[in-house]
Amino acid sequence: MQLFAPVLYSEHWWMYVLDVVQREIFVLDSKNIVSCSDERTSLNKFASNILDQMLKWAGAPSKFKKGIHSLLPRYINIPGQPNEFDCAVFVMKWM
């Protein structure tokens, strides 16, 4: 089972995918294959905490240990968008 979380930030769309069974978070981003800034890394940590909290509310045990972020997203190497405005189309395709 997977949970999809599309994100719009600074005029760019990307998506977090939470694999509930494997307890992993992936980033699908048609412009970036790694976290491109400290701000983006902070957003990734925030999203990880939110997704982990959703799992707790659903009754799944957390993979986090107190003070240690062990459920940080991993970027997936996917085809890039050919322009500056198709990111939303890529997100819709992935969903």
pLDDT per position in the chain (95 positions), as tens?
788 999 999 899 999 998 877 778 899 999 887 777 888 889 998 998 888 887 777 777 666 544 445 567 889 888 888 898 899 999 998 88
CA-to-CA dists, residue 36 to 2, 3, 17, 22, 29, angstroms: 25, 24, 18, 26, 11
pTM above 0.85, yes or no: no
pLDDT value, residue 32: 81
pLDDT value, residue 70: 55
